Amino acid sequence: MTNKNKQQVTRLALLLGLFSTLGPFTIDMYLPAFPEIVMQFGTTASLVQLSLTACLLGLGIGQLVMGSLSDVYGRRNPLLISMAIYVVASLACAFSPNIGILIAFRFVQGFVASAGIVISRAIARDLFSGHELTKFFSLLLLVGNLGPLVAPVTGSGILSFTTWIGVFLALGLLGIYLLTMTKWSLKETLPADRRRPSNFVQQLRNYGSLFRDRQFVGYMLAQGIMIAGVFAYVSGTPFIYQNIYGASPTVFALLFGSNGISLIIGSQLVGRMSHRVSEHAFLLFGLCLACLASVTVLVVAIVHGPLFALVIPLFFFVAAIGITSTAAFPLAMESQGHMAGSAAALLGVIPFLLGAVVSPLVGIAGEDTAVPLGVIILGTSAAAMLAYFFLVRSSAREASIS
């Protein structure tokens, strides 16, 4: 690859990575404001966490819709419309009169933010395959994973001079910037002759064929269940760090943001070593690392160990997510070039739907214990491991025998 081509690929990864950061920013940026929102609306921690659940549901369901639309109408136009709606939804969240309205518009905000995630990945599959897809996807994640690192710190900085309303106004400005980038800097990558028919029944058949592919489902579940554990971490740590351990919003943002570094380390390890170590080997290593780290988190939570003893295994747990997601995505997408949008949508929707289920469970025992977090991430790690062995490995063995 020439230097010019490398520069073009890097610029494209930067642009698509910016769109994929919209999800993390939408999820994470208001996390330091959770206690303030509880006081503002005179509500409970569980209801504020429900606003996160609504956002995750929107991000999950939206990817199914946006993925299919991008296979039918191309990548660019659905992204343009979604970014425009995102700006409106962000302003509606900022000026919500009560927690119910905030929850409703968080769903809308998540729904349209999903376009940035799923369409950026579909564009990657339009242009690359094999190890080149793995390398490009790791570059995309290098930018996209800065979202979890920067978002809570940015939110904390905004909260230092304004209220939680300012956080959503800032998200609206981000939406305006991405709308401008879509209009002037993004080219269409799916020509008309490669688009799927605009037929709802056919779209359902596409999803049906994907669900019948055992290896695809195995990769999808292994990745999706693991990421659901991260959403439990995202939902629980604002209260665990600040209420149990007494961390300030700034300290929480720094601790939370440090896991963006671990995501980057995990994803870049796979991208840089994919020509030497197979994606299959990295996926299995990531699953084993997650199980070990989650066991440690549960033990620390049970004995109520010090804060650093909780932060360190969580760092490795999130690094395992970077490894598994970077390895599983190209393995799942390799044979799905004919319907990359739909395949990328399913790979994206499962984590958010599962995350929406597990996120409220973190607070089920109250705000004074981290044990539910340990139980949930251990359960998700074990379930992801089972999905890999019972679907991916077993179908591969059957194929070799036949």
Confidence at residue 148, expressed as pLDDT on a 0 to 100 scale? 64
Q: Closest by alpha carbon to 132, among 334, 341, 312?
A: 334
Confidence at residue 174, expressed as pLDDT on a 0 to 100 scale? 92
Q: What is the dihedral of CA 379, 382, 384, 386, to 10 degrees?
A: -130
| CB contact at 8 A, 348 and 121 | yes
| CB contact at 8 A, 345 and 67 | yes
CATH number of the domain where residue 314 is located: 1.20.1250.20
Alpha carbons 394 and 29: distance in angstroms, whole number: 41
In a domain, 39, yes or no: yes
CA angle 299, 304, 309 (to 5 degrees): 65
Which residue range(s) make up the domain with 164?
Answer: 12-185+202-401
In a domain, 6, yes or no: no
In a domain, 2, yes or no: no
Confidence at residue 98, expressed as pLDDT on a 0 to 100 scale? 92
Number of domains observed in the structure of the chain: 1
Per-10-residue mean pLDDT of the chain, 402 residues long, equals: 66 83 86 86 86 87 86 89 96 93 95 91 83 80 70 82 91 93 85 74 80 90 88 79 81 77 84 82 94 94 89 92 88 74 81 76 69 89 93 68 54
Confidence at residue 171, expressed as pLDDT on a 0 to 100 scale? 95
In a domain, 194, yes or no: no
Contacts 24+ apart (CB under 8 A), 295-300: 295/378, 297/370, 297/373, 297/374, 297/377, 297/378, 298/371, 298/374, 298/375, 298/377, 298/378, 299/374, 300/370, 300/374
In a domain, 211, yes or no: yes
In a domain, 190, yes or no: no
pTM: 0.71
In a domain, 106, yes or no: yes
Confidence at residue 257, expressed as pLDDT on a 0 to 100 scale? 72
Looking only at Cα atoms, what is the longest distance across the chain? 65
In a domain, 152, yes or no: yes
